[in-house]
Chains A and B, each alone.
Chain A
Amino acid sequence: MDIQIDMISQEHMREMTTMEKIRFILDEVQKGKIVILESGLSPDEEAKLIETTMLEIATGDFTGIEIESYPPSHEKSGVLGKIFKKTPRSRLTIIGPANKMKTIKKDHKLISAIIMSKADE
């Protein structure tokens, strides 16, 4: 079983527009890849990602995405984060195809994802 993982740096994310990010994520995930974003999406981008995912489920065999981010959005990381409440925090986000990935455990400190091979399905 080959699983390809794409890691996208914060710098790279910053250069992309919202739709470019969403298109990139959904194209990679629909190829069966797992995408890890060094810094996550804004709440608005998250909503657009869910919306676009739904449009693509409705038109094909795609069944959607698993998406998890760490740390939780409300945790203000670092000293700056504590002083300026609105400072953008980096949130590691992992996104994969729903039919291949399942989150088995998640809390404030840990995400474990399980990747299923075709044989397990």
Chain B
Amino acid sequence: MLSALKTIWLVLRHMFHRRVTVQYPETSNYLAPRYRGRIVLTRDPDGEERCVACYLCAAVCPVDCISLQATEDEHGRRYPEFFRINFSRCIFCGFCEEACPTYSIQLTPDNEMSEYKRKNLVYEKDDLLISGPGKYHDYNFYRVAGLAIQGKDKGEAENEEPPVDVRSLLP
């Protein structure tokens, strides 16, 4: 008898608590920016593709759902010729983001990805590439790297001396 009353009391009390369930899709929950949802490829602060096609995300992916091919522009800047993620395989573990040395690949809080056709879950570079830098605003890999690209010659990266004069005999 007493326990039944206790239970009723508990239920009554809960009526005055804040509701946890939301009316999805009319309303949706807040997801932190570091939430691991749909993957995007971002651009550097200069608006260029960040991905340098290093294959590290593909290598680290436990389900092997990233596939790409590297290519170069005429000045030697490397980028992916194609970049494909098969989201029907992706487990949103975020390893690719951790492996990426350029902050290019990032997971976003978007998780609304259901499709009737599996094929629609295959995203190509066009589907993945966004126009901004995502979570990391300032990093530009090519400003740090030693490779010369258009607009950044040898010795012009951060923390670099100008190219040495090999012919100099000065001590």
Q: Do A and B bind each other?
A: no
Give me the interface of B with A, judged by CB distance under 8 Å.
none
